[in-house]
Amino acid sequence: MAHVIAVTNQKGGVGKTTTAINLGAALAELGHYTLLGDLDPQGGLSLGLGLAAHDLDLTIYNILTDTRIPIAGITHHIRPHLDLLPSNIDLAVAEFQLIAQMGREYILREALANVRNTYEYIVLDCPPSLNLLTVNALTAADAIIVPLQVEYFAMRGLEQLMDVFSRVRRRLNPQLEILGIVATMVDVRRTNDQQILQEVTHAYPGLLLDVYIKESIKFADAPRHQRSILELDPKHEGARAYRKLAKLVLLHYDEWSHAAELQERAYAEIAEPETKL
């Protein structure tokens, strides 16, 4: 069953879509069947991978507003081991239509349930706001990854996101976890960047992942060429960083699977009746 990861940060311009695209591309490159879900009405993820979503009749908007439409009906195969649920500006009005629906926070979760056995990973690119679309993503997800631009205002926004995470976990999705915070647009030579990284480490111990996405013009070039950084320049340090992030994700779930297996084995041993001699 697929692990669902929401890439989220309510602040725009922090590398969220870049992270979703390249994490998905790196997982697919490693041979893991991955589905990318574009929940941003701007459709940056779709456009960045070469899909002209503004010309599509069916997008993720349709599965959120009409539960009769299956996800498979709007999924596009865009790369080996990589599929895409596209988005366009139609999604901007979805929130207003969802407000009146019963169980509106669970709509995406229920839709994804039909394809979780098809993929190993589902990566959701959330919009740059804490709206009902983001809440749907967090309710559907097993974990979140938070791209964090190393600057002061992004740190303040992180506090708000953590508050929303806690409320969603308490009220809607008790299994939701934070897989990690990914520092983006980093220049370790800048004193400010070093200070922000120290503050994040102190404020959120154990959550800052050991992978830095450094500033590079290549990240702006990649969507212009409708490619991931891994395709545009496979040997670029940005490509290497996202491969490392993908391996950290795989390691996290390998450990989770192993722990779950040990726990099930322990429960089975407890449940076995004692053999009388």
Distance from CA of residue 143 to its chain's centroid?
8
Structure-block tokens of residue 201 = 């480490």
Distance from CA of residue 97 to its chain's centroid?
24
DSSP class of residue 2 equals P
Q: What is the pLDDT of residue 102?
A: 84
In a domain, 187, yes or no: yes
Helix axes 152-171, 132-140, angle to 10 degrees: 60
Domain coverage including residue 116? 3-271
In a domain, 146, yes or no: yes
Q: What is the dihedral of CA 12, 18, 19, 23, to 10 degrees?
A: 160
Q: What is the pLDDT of residue 25?
A: 97
Q: What is the pLDDT of residue 192?
A: 85
Biggest distance spanned by C-alpha atoms of the chain: 74
Low-confidence ranges of the chain (pLDDT < 50): 273-277
Identify whether the C-beta of residue 45 lies closer than 8 Å to the C-beta of residue 161.
no
Domain count, the chain: 1
Distance CA 66, CA 124 (A): 19
Question: For residues 65-95, b (16+ Cβ closer than 10 Å) or e, as one string?
Answer: beeeeebeebbbebbebbbbbbbbebbeebb
Answering whether pTM is above 0.85, one says yes
**For 155-172, how does the pLDDT look when each residue is reduced to its tens digit (9 = 90+)?**
777 888 999 999 999 999
Structure-block tokens of residue 230 = 């891994």
Structure-block tokens of residue 23 = 């994490």
Q: What is the pLDDT of residue 234?
A: 94
Q: What is the pLDDT of residue 264?
A: 62
Torsion angles phi and psi, residue 85, rounded to 5:
-100, 105
**For 9-36, how does the pLDDT look when each residue is reduced to its tens digit (9 = 90+)?**
988 888 899 999 999 999 999 999 999 9
In a domain, 276, yes or no: no
In a domain, 10, yes or no: yes
Q: What is the pLDDT of residue 271?
A: 53
Q: What is the pLDDT of residue 167?
A: 94
- For residue 198, what is the domain's CATH number? 3.40.50.300
In a domain, 277, yes or no: no
Average predicted confidence (pLDDT) for the chain: 89
